[in-house]
């Protein structure tokens, strides 16, 4: 397994001048991102299928152990403030439980039985998308979670840093960034972790794009939770609907600070009709706007 191997170039790194060690780390980080280059088509295909599968009810489920599990959770928790992705449509399966986010529970990664039980207990099914992350690509907990989810009809994505591994075979979509040896042997929080985070960022953002939660480069489904974000939302409504800031503010107030609904209201749609249009178009703002422009 290349992520666990000792790289002879770095066997004396603890004796190097610190600046030289840090420069080597930077080189490794850049190489980690470059390793994703061959996966862009696969990431795009997985995102398109995930968006179609999730619809208005499906859940995004993240599964992993240790460092990989923590990186997966980090990606998922950002979806609520950034895209207002409903928290009830997010599920995190972490080997050893969520306490393992801050406390080591490395032995839990071997518990395949627990992973299968958690998939069953969560009633994972055909509307759900399950993303499993493991640097080795063979972590029993993560492989079992993906296999059980696929058996239950969910769409599954496996992210690993070693090719030809069980996780990639178990998933509908296998994404691999072959980052190779680490500067500190086995420390997959370095190159492997960087590549995992980048792939997860790309995958989840592309899913949000295809679900219509971004319009003209703006986070139109953003959750407004403070004055800074209210002003940002107001500016979005102004720019998209072609109104002034005062009209944008009134539209936001009329719909409880929902940016997508406010855009439609600012375009002249009644508040109840704005809500209905977004519902029938699966919360996809561009689709709802086209319906308004067609007079539907």
Written as tens digits, the pLDDT of the chain (296 aa) is: 677 778 889 899 999 999 999 999 999 999 999 999 999 999 999 999 999 999 989 999 999 999 999 999 999 999 999 999 999 999 999 999 988 888 877 688 999 999 999 999 999 999 999 999 999 999 999 999 999 999 999 999 999 999 999 999 999 999 999 998 888 888 888 999 999 999 999 999 999 999 888 999 999 999 898 999 999 999 999 999 999 999 999 999 999 999 999 999 999 999 999 999 999 988 888 889 999 888 76
Name the percent of the chain in helix, strand, coil, to the closest 5.
60, 10, 30
Catalytic residue among 109, 182, 272, 296: 109
Domain 2-210, CATH among 2.60.40.3080, 3.40.50.2300, 3.40.50.10490, 3.90.550.10: 3.40.50.10490
Domain boundaries for CATH 1.10.8.1080 within the chain: 227-293
Instruction: For 227-293, give the CATH class.
Output: mainly alpha
Q: Is 272 a catalytic residue?
A: no
The number of beta carbons lying within 10 Å of the beta carbon of residue 40 is: 12
- Residue reference for tokens 């706007």: 289
Q: Is 78 a catalytic residue?
A: yes
Q: Give the list of residues 6+ apart from residue 47 with CB closer than 8 angstroms, or none.
A: 203, 206, 207, 209, 210
**CA end-to-end distance (rounded Å), the chain:** 57
CA dist 208 to 105, 174, 222, Å? 32, 20, 11
Catalytic residue among 4, 48, 49, 78: 78
Domain boundaries for CATH 3.40.50.10490 within the chain: 2-210
């Amino acid at each position: 397994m290349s992520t666990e191997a000792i790289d002879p170039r770095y066997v004396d790194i603890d004796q190097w001048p610190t600046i030289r060690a840090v420069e080597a780390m930077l080189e490794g980080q850049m190489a980690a991102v470059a390793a994703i280059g061959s996966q862009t088509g696969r990431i795009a295909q997985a995102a398109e299928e995930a968006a179609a599968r999730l619809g208005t009810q499906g859940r995004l489920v993240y599964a992993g152990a240790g460092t990989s599990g923590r990186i997966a959770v980090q990606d998922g928790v950002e979806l609520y403030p950034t895209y207002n992705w409903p928290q009830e449509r997010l599920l995190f399966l972490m080997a050893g439980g969520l306490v393992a986010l801050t406390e080591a529970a490395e032995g839990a990664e071997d518990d395949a039985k627990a992973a299968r039980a958690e998939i069953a207990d969560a009633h994972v099914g055909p509307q759900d998308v399950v993303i499993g992350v493991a640097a080795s690509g063979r972590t029993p907990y993560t492989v079992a979670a993906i296999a059980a989810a696929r058996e239950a009809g969910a769409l599954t994505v496996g992210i690993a840093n070693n090719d030809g591994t069980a996780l990639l075979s178990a998933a509908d979509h296998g994404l691999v960034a072959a980052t190779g040896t680490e500067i500190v042997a086995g420390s997959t929080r370095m190159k492997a972790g960087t590549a995992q985070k980048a792939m997860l960022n790309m995958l989840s953002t592309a899913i949000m794009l295809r679900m219509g939660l971004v319009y003209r480069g703006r986070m139109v489904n953003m959750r407004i939770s403070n004055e800074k974000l209210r002003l940002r939302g107001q500016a979005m409504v102004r720019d998209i609907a072609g109104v002034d800031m005062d009209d944008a503010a009134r539209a936001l107030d009329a719909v409880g600070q929902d940016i997508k609904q406010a855009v439609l209201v600012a375009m002249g749609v009644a508040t109840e009709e704005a809500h209905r249009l977004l519902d029938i178009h699966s919360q996809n703002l561009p689709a709802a706007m086209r319906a308004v422009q067609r007079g539907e």
